[in-house]
Structure formats: structure tokens, C-alpha cells
Amino acid sequence: MKDQRNLHLKVQELCDCFATADPLREMSRLPDESDKDEGALKWLALAVLHGINDNAKKITINKAGDGKVTVTAKYRGSELPSPGGDIGTRIFEAVKGVTHIDGDEGEIPLAVGVRDGSLDLKVKVEKGDGSETVTIAFPK
């Protein structure tokens, strides 16, 4: 992640750009994204939009010690399309850049502007047993 000062703004711009798209369909296309850093930011924006559209309680992305990345949403416990290993790894970097969480663990509120409104999310980063997890919790 190159210019971390503007990552938050970039995620908000991508939310606006993809506001009328189908987030799950766009997520399923991300493993083919040539710019992996941009793909990570797109994934974050699409996860926010999916959570809003489908009334998710939280979305969790997990990277296992072997590099396999999985995504689940709490509202139904089903897996969402994986961004793939390369973009998945960069999502963790992007989240830390956007939230300014230092180290391996932390939790912070994150306001995200979507169209002409905003949303207060809770972002949590955890690391343990060779895996990393980012959880995006949506308001009730």
C-alpha cells in the first residue's frame, strides 16, 4: 500500500463507484484483478456495500497459515467469494492502512461515507495460530 494517507478516501470513492453494482458479482471477479493493491481496496468497498445491501451483522476475512483466504458473513454463515491469496493478503495491509491499526491486533471504529450518507463500522484485526482475521461489524 503506497500512499496510506488516502486509502480511506479511496475506499469511499470506490463505494460510490460501485454503489449500483452487484457486490458479490464484482467480488468474484477480483482474483483476476491485475493491480492487487487496487483489488484489495475494491474488496473493502464491495464488502461494505454488500453488508449494507444484505443487512449483514459482520463480514470476516481469514487468512490461514498456508495463505488460503476465506470470507464469511454472519447473517447466514455462508462463504462469500474469496479475493484470492494475493489480493487477500493486501486486504490486511489496506485495513491497517485505512484504520491506522499498528501491530498485529486492534479494534477501531471507522466511518465510511456512502453516497450522501455515512456508516459507522467497527473494524477488528486479530492474529494467532498462524492465521490473521479482519472483521467488519455493521451497525444494528
Pick from 97, 106, 111, 112: nearest CA to 134: 106
Pick from 60, 80, 58: nearest CA to 133: 60
The radius of gyration of the chain from alpha carbons, rounded to an integer in Å, stands at 14
Residues 6+ apart with CB under 8 A from 50: 23, 24, 27, 56, 59, 73, 80
Please tell me the predicted confidence (pLDDT) of residue 1: 46
Please tell me the predicted confidence (pLDDT) of residue 22: 94
Task: Output the tens digit of pLDDT for each of the chain's 140 residues.
Answer: 455 558 888 999 999 999 999 999 999 999 999 999 999 999 999 999 999 888 888 999 999 989 899 988 887 556 778 898 899 888 888 888 888 888 889 999 988 888 788 889 999 999 988 899 999 998 87
The DSSP output letter for 105 is: -
The CA distance from 54 to 11, in Å, is: 19
Q: What is the dihedral of CA 21, 16, 101, 33, to 10 degrees?
A: 50
Domains of the chain: 4-137 (3.30.450.90)
Please tell me the predicted confidence (pLDDT) of residue 104: 85
Q: What is the dihedral of CA 84, 89, 90, 91, to 10 degrees?
A: 80
What is this structure's pTM?
Answer: 0.75
The CA distance from 8 to 134, in Å, is: 16
Please tell me the predicted confidence (pLDDT) of residue 62: 92
